[in-house]
Structure 1
């Protein structure tokens, strides 16, 4: 697929998102400023040697959160669950040196064996970095300045669920958005919450129904020109939901379309919202105002084409599905037609990103798969990082950042 077409598609996408111009070169949340995982401006290598890494550092504890980047600073979290400590660190992207490290107390949380207190990715803007720490007793949101000064922290009810919590943070111009999804057997109620970025005070809280299993998906913020901005959530209890980011008002909902636990996050491209629940991917068509064109889905995909944990990615007119078992499928986004399906490497928990027309995704064993984002299959490389990873690659101005269980590393661009 020509780079010119990809760049044009990217401009269309950012024209439909609410990320401001100053955020375009920043990696402010899970899978980039708009959550779609596409960087058509910078470049990254498709093959490399050990000497191509600018730096590698060890992290305290372990974690799965993707880093976030603002200018020369990489912010990352990790946790040592045995000592009940969570860590937030600021790293110099040029040399890997530690600017600062802060500790937070994390308490017992029943969770899946592959989950961790440092699973949710932080978020960052021009002045602060925001983190979320889930436990059974409380959910703690904290804001720190770029130099590590604690500006505020806010506490809410905890998470009562077999698999714990894992949804990442999203920022609007005014609020930090997070979810508190409970199981229906929990004594606590589910809600989606917006807190003021400057004070930590609640701006709005939307009460939600609980399901048999809580959802882990992270919403995204989207805005087409001259249209109202929307937060798009996906969950077992409420299916697809669009929420006004300023008020918490539900703008529309397709409640019946996702009948199982939702782990992968939704994406938006070319008038389609793609979501995955366990055993099925569902594609919902929306109009220019971002309202659904029908009560039913445009189409759905069977389990052998539907990831459970990895988030899909759409590049131009193509939809790429990186499945948990390591298979990768390429489909026509508009119709669901399968163009190819291959299994280049092993099982995957991380999500893909696209940089300058190439797809990058890490396997659970810590191998980086590099594929051409095109309608024919082309494997560009498989590279071993030397440590397990459930995380997602990140772009900075100096190169591509990989996070493994215990390490952070910068591959020069």
Structure 2
């Protein structure tokens, strides 16, 4: 069955809505940047580099898997000192990596899944506030801090968090609310929660079945002739579209997933890509044309890809190409509208961080700390391999013409202003 893709300009519409009007290419406001697309501008970044090419490289306290978010000349990261159960929020100067402020929170020690830590979720930031979430078996906490000095603005405690493998869902901003995923294992109270960005008060909450805790960060979709939609994934509910203003359900594909959802959804040119899996392997990825209730359009699964599907990792696109990077180091380039495979090649390594695209290049960090650089093209080509010096489970961030990298205990800046 043939399907014509939605117009390319739809992707521009939803990006315009998701990012605050004052944001620019100097900002990277959430996990994987604008609407989680993983693409941005970064100038002067070479195909390969050495330590001498970093603008700065600084040591971080503790360890963390979260990715940087950036507003103007401020970069935000989370970290954890597991021995003391200290959760740390850091604000660095993007110019030289110097510390602007640090905020510590105390949690209770608890057993952890070996591939996770308390500082796995990335923050979200707007022109006034930094939004941070973390969860332990005893508490699921969301806080808003003044992004300039780290002052507490509000704090919400959402109850216990039941998940054998821990927590890792990042917040997203949607209009006047910050949306928090809260899907838990059996025995937990699952929900999707929207809090007022200014006050932290609950705007809406949708209760959900507890089947398998998800690590998938939501995204947004704003179709032509329709209202904005929050897209959330879970094993129990498949793909669900919610009204960001009210939490009302727009549509759902309840039975689309068999296993846990860990990678985040990607919307590219009006098509939604999402996957499920277990262990270190994806079961399959689906490409979906989202529903548009205002136009009488129902959601439709366009195709599935099972071979070398990603599980933890979120795809990246250079439309009409979509790149699927599997956790076990196999990369597949498909035609987005049809799912036809252009190439599938093994690059090696194991991965928990997702790829980002800068122009015609794709960058992804292996767990070992090796950055693999590929050509974003119909022909497979490895452009470079760069050793970052220590392991990493993080995704690069792009802002102000620079790429910001995070390993377990260091942050680095490459390219951008004053690039070598």
Normalising by structure 1, what TM-score?
0.93
In the comparison of the two structures, how many residue pairs are matched?
Answer: 401
Alignment check: 8 A CA contact 2:44 2:415 kept: no
- Residue 342 to residue 274, structure 1, CA distance change in 2 (3 Å): same
- Residue 290 to residue 83, structure 1, CA distance change in 2 (3 Å): farther
- Residue 108 to residue 154, structure 1, CA distance change in 2 (3 Å): same
Q: Secondary structure at the match of 2:36?
A: coil
Shift of 1:198: 0.9
Shift of 1:292: 9.3
Equivalent residue number for residue 23 of structure 1 = 23
After TM superposition, the structure 1 = structure 2 runs for residues 372-387 of structure 1, keeping only pairs within 5 Å, are 372-387=375-390
Q: Secondary structure at the match of 2:37?
A: coil
Equivalent residue number for residue 301 of structure 2 = 297
Alignment check: 8 A CA contact 2:43 2:415 kept: no
Q: Distance in 1 between matches of 2:235 and 2:248?
A: 19
- Residue 191 to residue 199, structure 1, CA distance change in 2 (3 Å): same
- Residue 109 to residue 168, structure 1, CA distance change in 2 (3 Å): farther
- 12-21 or 306-315: bigger deviation: 12-21
Shift of 1:226: 4.6
Q: Work out whether 1:317 is the aligned partner of 2:316.
A: no
Equivalent residue number for residue 406 of structure 1 = 409
- 14-23 or 200-209: bigger deviation: 14-23
After superposition, give the CA deviation of every residue in 1:137-194 in whole Å (9 maximum; x if it has no partner). Answer: 111111111221111111111211111111111012211111111112x1x3100101
Return 5+ residue gaps in structure 2 as ranges: 1-6, 278-282
Q: Secondary structure at the match of 1:191?
A: strand
Q: Secondary structure at the match of 1:75?
A: strand
- Residue 199 to residue 21, structure 1, CA distance change in 2 (3 Å): closer
Shift of 1:305: 2.5
After superposition, give the CA deviation of every residue in 1:2-48 in whole Å (9 maximum; x if it has no partner). Answer: xxxxxx96x75232332244324210000002111111575632222
Alignment check: 8 A CA contact 1:16 1:225 kept: no
Q: Distance in 1 between matches of 2:388 and 2:296?
A: 42
After superposition, give the CA deviation of every residue in 1:295-322 in whole Å (9 maximum; x if it has no partner). Answer: 65211111x3311111111211011011
Equivalent residue number for residue 167 of structure 2 = 165
Equivalent residue number for residue 4 of structure 2 = none
Alignment check: 8 A CA contact 1:110 1:163 kept: no
Q: Distance in 2 between matches of 1:158 and 1:43?
A: 45
After TM superposition, the structure 1 = structure 2 runs for residues 157-236 of structure 1, keeping only pairs within 5 Å, are 157-184=159-186, 186=187, 188-211=188-211, 213-236=212-235
- Residue 412 to residue 290, structure 1, CA distance change in 2 (3 Å): farther
Q: Distance in 1 between matches of 2:110 and 2:257?
A: 26
Return 5+ residue gaps in structure 1 as ranges: 1-7
Equivalent residue number for residue 357 of structure 2 = 354
- Residue 111 to residue 21, structure 1, CA distance change in 2 (3 Å): same
Shift of 1:200: 1.0
Shift of 1:76: 0.4
Equivalent residue number for residue 269 of structure 1 = 268
The one of 10, 13, 32 equivalent to 2:11 is 13
- Two-structure CA RMSD over aligned residues (Å): 1.9
After TM superposition, the structure 1 = structure 2 runs for residues 3-402 of structure 1, keeping only pairs within 5 Å, are 13-17=11-15, 18=17, 19-25=19-25, 26-40=27-41, 42=43, 44-146=45-147, 147-184=149-186, 186=187, 188-211=188-211, 213-278=212-277, 279-286=283-290, 297-302=301-306, 304-402=307-405
Shift of 1:277: 0.1
Q: Distance in 2 between matches of 1:203 and 1:95?
A: 39
Equivalent residue number for residue 280 of structure 2 = none
Q: Distance in 1 between matches of 2:387 and 2:241?
A: 40
- Residue 236 to residue 114, structure 1, CA distance change in 2 (3 Å): same
After superposition, give the CA deviation of every residue in 1:236-283 in whole Å (9 maximum; x if it has no partner). Answer: 011110000010111100101011100000111122111010011111
Alignment check: 8 A CA contact 1:170 1:220 kept: yes
Q: Distance in 2 between matches of 1:68 and 1:402?
A: 11
Q: Secondary structure at the match of 2:22?
A: helix
Q: Distance in 2 between matches of 1:159 and 1:124?
A: 24
After superposition, give the CA deviation of every residue in 1:52-90 in whole Å (9 maximum; x if it has no partner). Answer: 101111111111000100000000000012101000010
Q: Distance in 1 between matches of 2:172 and 2:296?
A: 23
Shift of 1:359: 0.6
- Residue 266 to residue 377, structure 1, CA distance change in 2 (3 Å): same
After superposition, give the CA deviation of every residue in 1:171-230 in whole Å (9 maximum; x if it has no partner). Answer: 12211111111112x1x310010111111111111000111x211100002223452011
- 249-258 or 108-117: bigger deviation: 108-117
